[in-house]
């Protein structure tokens, strides 16, 4: 009996030891901050003893009644390591000491290095164990949680493709300059709203945001049942009017193929075909097929072999349509690709597949064959057709649920600063973004216990068609709202209007914003004398119908960059469009003036004069306001001599 009692006591002791937990941020290959107060924290059974050992430091504590514990290490003068971090019986290996930054936001923060320019050069470099990346798993929670999932990885050819591109270029610049370890904790998620990253209590003072967030959650919870009902109603309608799908029948040799024009009236079944060329890398490593959202059931075939099947669930929920083709399924060389659509409703709008995943394929030479046509919807048929539900609510839209699961578990980890790239999802409702953004920054600082925590962010890049009218667009207003956060101390903004693409909301040039963020950190945190800020308009004065604008942060003066002949539509498939100048006789593009009547006109002349710019328009005799790069896709060419674009602005003109 005594033997069994001893075994039970021993087992109980093991359970208690195992009960001590830490979030995955404390795991093999972690980077800890070179700071005098570095929290190490986790959970456990109340009253349990916790012993933390790191290098020559030992810290002890007791798990509190709330099931949490925390100790602090002094790593201000610590060597780099690597060291082992002991937490009771747990041993965490290969832990180094350096500079750690939190990267957050939506898709342009999350965007992988494998998708951008510079990957090939990066993976040719030797493995760098002093640049490390931790991707927080995308997840949500209705309540704040302590659990955090992810893993630390080195910068090497195997891991780099899955690094945040923005985070990598920032870390590399910082490491190459300071010669210290740099860790990036990447907690970002594509398509997310600003409010998704705010705590419930920090967003509570903003009624409009709360109302919208509650509606999103309600829509998400009710969507599965509403979608199920819609599918049943649609199937019944299709059956009643003979608009159902047919078994797949490949086009024969006598099929009437025509050049694909992109849009065809009437529903039915049709095929698209083209050629793709697979490289040796495609067939040995696998390749991606991605056609975006097709809004119709579709199948994709390569040489007659089905590789992708998008059923009605995918089509009607408007989910992205794509897959990964495993290695070895096809040989290198040219292959025929065919896409089969079935559309039961009236308008057959077939998007031109300008890209075919990782395969090189252009937007030309697509052919179309109509296998079957349905009559036009009229009368009772049209009247009774079920109404589409639209895009399915995405998990990434959940307000504060993302914060609960992806930011809250990080408190109170010690960071050197925060990097932020977000705003695209909020652009259509830009009003009040600045207040919300400032509230989020303040809240995060309080919970990270660092009121001076540096917070550096990217202003939105250029996107959509360049404006022909100087009084159009809305992204410029979001950019203005973003800049309001600069009123908080220890913040910085990088202007990246020179890094956009007309048809791609994800510019492939992530090196430019990454290195500009690094310049901010080098200057503001580490005291390096490097230019880091875009020139900002400070005063606009009118004299004899001309407006003279003066600037701060010119870093050696202003310069007019060369105006390119073309603008990128999508650099991913090397498509471009001709740049049409708005002020063809001027040295500078992007300036516009308006008079007391409120009508805006492009400047006829805009010239650099020392540290100022002089602007005029024959259509505006007495300007009362002036704008620069005030559009979705600015084409202005005014820079500092240090290479930073002038920040977009709209200001009143004074005498």
pLDDT tens digits for 57-90?
Answer: 999 999 999 999 999 999 999 999 999 999 999 9
509: buried, middle or exposed (CB in 10 Å: 19+, 13-18, 0-12)? Answer: buried
The mean per-residue pLDDT over the stretch 391-416 comes to: 92
CA–CA separation, 281 and 5 (whole Å)? 62
CA–CA separation, 522 and 501 (whole Å)? 28
Which one is predicted more confidently, 344 or 150?
A: 150
A 10 A CB-CB count for 541 gives: 13
Which one is predicted more confidently, 616 or 11?
A: 616
Q: Which residue has the tokens 């047919």?
A: 246
pLDDT at residue 585, as a whole number: 95
Which ranges in 255-392 belong to alpha helices (H)?
A: 280-285, 312-316, 379-383
DSSP notation for 340-374: EEEE-SSEEE------BTTBB--S---EEEEEEEP
Query: Which of 92-96, 300-304, 309-313, 634-638 shows the lowest per-residue confidence on average (mean pLDDT)?
Result: 309-313
Query: Which of 23-37, 93-107, 221-235 shows the lowest per-residue confidence on average (mean pLDDT)?
Result: 221-235
Closest to 628 in 3D by CA, of 592, 599, 596, 603: 592
Closest to 340 in 3D by CA, of 303, 371, 373, 375: 371
pLDDT at residue 358 is higher than 60 = no
CA–CA separation, 303 and 330 (whole Å)? 9
Instruction: Label residues 39-62 b or e (16+ Cβ within 10 Å = b).
Output: bbbbbbeeebebebbbeeeebebe
pLDDT at residue 314, as a whole number: 83
pLDDT at residue 236 is higher than 80 = yes
Which one is predicted more confidently, 416 or 115?
A: 416
Instruction: Tell me whether strands 298-302 and 536-543 are parallel, antiparallel or unpaired.
Output: unpaired
Say how far residue 121 (Cα) sits from the centre of its chain.
Answer: 22
Three-state SS at 314: helix
CA–CA separation, 108 and 111 (whole Å)? 5
CB half-sphere exposure, 11, CA atoms < 13 A: 6
pLDDT at residue 264, as a whole number: 61
Query: Which of 245-254, 299-308, 342-351 shows the lowest per-residue confidence on average (mean pLDDT)?
Result: 342-351
With residue 449 as reference, give the H or E element that holds it. Answer: none
pLDDT tens digits for 489-545?
Answer: 999 999 999 999 999 999 999 999 999 999 999 999 999 999 999 999 999 999 999
Closest to 174 in 3D by CA, of 103, 104, 116, 117: 103
pLDDT at residue 376, as a whole number: 86
Residue 483 makes CB contacts below 8 A (sequence gap 6+) with 434, 459, 493, 647
The mean per-residue pLDDT over the stretch 241-258 comes to: 92
Reading the block at residue 608, the tokens are: 């650099």
pLDDT at residue 110 is higher than 60 = yes
pLDDT tens digits for 115-154?
Answer: 899 999 999 999 999 999 999 999 999 999 999 999 999 9
Residue 522 near residue 129, CB atoms below 8 Å: no
Residue 497 near residue 589, CB atoms below 8 Å: no
Residue 300 near residue 306, CB atoms below 8 Å: yes
Which neighbouring-strand residues pair with 607?
A: 614
Say how far residue 238 (Cα) sits from the centre of its chain.
Answer: 39
Confidence of residue 6 (pLDDT cuts 50, 70, 90): very low
pLDDT at residue 289 is higher than 90 = no
pLDDT tens digits for 425-452?
Answer: 999 999 999 999 999 999 999 999 999 9
Estimate the crossing angle of helix 433-447 against helix 475-483, to 10 degrees. 40
Mean pLDDT over all residues of the chain? 92
The mean per-residue pLDDT over the stretch 306-331 comes to: 86
Sign, CA dihedral 363-367-370-371, equals: negative
pLDDT at residue 363, as a whole number: 60
> What are the two backbone dihedrals, phi and then psi, of residue 509, each rounded to the nearest 5 degrees?
-85, 90
pLDDT tens digits for 202-228?
Answer: 999 999 999 999 998 999 899 999 999
Sign, CA dihedral 579-583-584-588, equals: negative
CA–CA separation, 33 and 446 (whole Å)? 18
pLDDT at residue 263, as a whole number: 61
Residue 46 makes CB contacts below 8 A (sequence gap 6+) with 63, 64, 65, 66, 67
Confidence of residue 295 (pLDDT cuts 50, 70, 90): confident
């Amino acid at each position: 009996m005594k033997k069994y009692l001893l075994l039970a006591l021993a087992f109980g002791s093991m359970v208690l030891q195992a009960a001590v937990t830490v979030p995955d941020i404390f795991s093999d290959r972690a980077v800890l901050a070179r700071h005098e107060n570095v929290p190490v924290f986790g959970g456990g059974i109340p009253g349990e003893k916790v012993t933390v050992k790191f290098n020559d430091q030992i810290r002890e504590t007791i798990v509190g009644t709330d099931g949490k514990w925390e100790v602090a290490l002094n790593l201000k003068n610590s060597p780099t390591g690597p060291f082992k971090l002991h937490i009771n019986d747990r041993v965490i290996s290969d832990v180094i000491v350096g500079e750690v930054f939190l990267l957050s936001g939506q898709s342009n923060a999350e965007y992988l290095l494998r998708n951008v320019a510079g990957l090939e050069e990066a993976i040719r470099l030797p493995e760098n164990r002093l640049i490390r990346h931790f991707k927080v798993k995308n997840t949500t929670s209705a309540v704040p949680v302590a659990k955090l999932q992810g893993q630390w990885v080195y910068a090497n050819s195997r891991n780099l493709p899955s690094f945040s591109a923005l985070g990598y270029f920032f870390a590399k610049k910082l490491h190459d300059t300071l010669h210290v370890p740099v860790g990036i904790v990447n907690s970002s998620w594509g398509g997310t709203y600003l409010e998704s990253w705010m705590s419930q209590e920090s967003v509570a003072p903003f009624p409009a945001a709360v109302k919208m967030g509650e509606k999103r959650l309600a829509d998400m919870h009710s969507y599965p049942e509403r979608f199920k009902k819609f599918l049943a109603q649609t199937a019944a309608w299709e059956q009643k009017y003979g608009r159902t799908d047919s078994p797949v029948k490949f086009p024969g040799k006598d099929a009437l193929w025509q050049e694909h024009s992109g849009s065809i009236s009437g529903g039915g079944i049709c095929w698209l075909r083209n050629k793709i060329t697979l490289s040796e890398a495609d067939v040995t490593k696998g390749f991606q097929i991605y056609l975006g959202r097709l809004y119709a059931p579709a199948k994709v075939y390569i040489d007659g072999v089905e590789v992708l099947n998008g059923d009605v669930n995918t089509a009607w929920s408007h989910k992205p349509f794509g897959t990964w083709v495993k290695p070895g399924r096809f040989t290198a060389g040219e292959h025929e690709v065919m896409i089969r659509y079935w559309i039961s409703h009236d308008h057959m709008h077939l998007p031109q597949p300008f890209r075919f995943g990782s395969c090189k394929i252009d937007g030309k030479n697509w052919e179309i064959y109509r296998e079957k046509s349905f009559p036009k919807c009229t009368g009772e048929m049209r009247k009774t057709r079920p109404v589409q539900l639209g895009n399915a609510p995405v998990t990434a839209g959940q307000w504060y649920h993302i914060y609960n699961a992806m930011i809250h578990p990080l408190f109170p980890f010690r960071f050197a600063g925060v990097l932020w790239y977000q705003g695209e999802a909020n652009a259509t409702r830009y009003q009040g973004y600045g207040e919300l953004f400032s509230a989020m920054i303040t809240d995060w600082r309080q919970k990270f216990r660092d009121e001076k925590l540096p917070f550096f962010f990217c202003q939105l890049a250029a996107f959509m068609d360049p404006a022909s009218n100087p009084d159009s667009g809305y992204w410029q207003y979001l950019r203005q709202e973003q800049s309001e956060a600069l009123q908080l101390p220890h913040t910085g903004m990088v202007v990246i209007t020179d890094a956009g693409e007309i048809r791609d909301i994800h510019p492939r040039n992530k090196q430019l914003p990454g290195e500009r963020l690094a310049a901010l950190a080098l200057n503001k945190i580490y005291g390096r004398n490097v230019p880091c800020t875009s020139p900002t308009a400070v005063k606009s004065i009118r004299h004899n119908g001309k407006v003279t604008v003066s600037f701060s942060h010119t870093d050696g003066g202003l310069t007019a960059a060369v105006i390119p002949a073309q603008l990128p539509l999508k650099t991913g498939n090397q498509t471009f469009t001709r740049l049409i100048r708005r002020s063809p006789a001027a040295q500078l593009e992007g300036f516009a003036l308006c008079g007391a009547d409120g009508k805006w006109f492009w400047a006829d002349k805009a010239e650099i004069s020392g540290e100022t710019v002089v602007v005029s328009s024959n259509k505006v005799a007495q300007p009362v306001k002036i704008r620069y790069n005030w559009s979705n896709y600015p084409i202005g060419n005014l820079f500092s001599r240090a290479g930073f674009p002038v920040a977009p602005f709209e200001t009143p003109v004074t005498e």
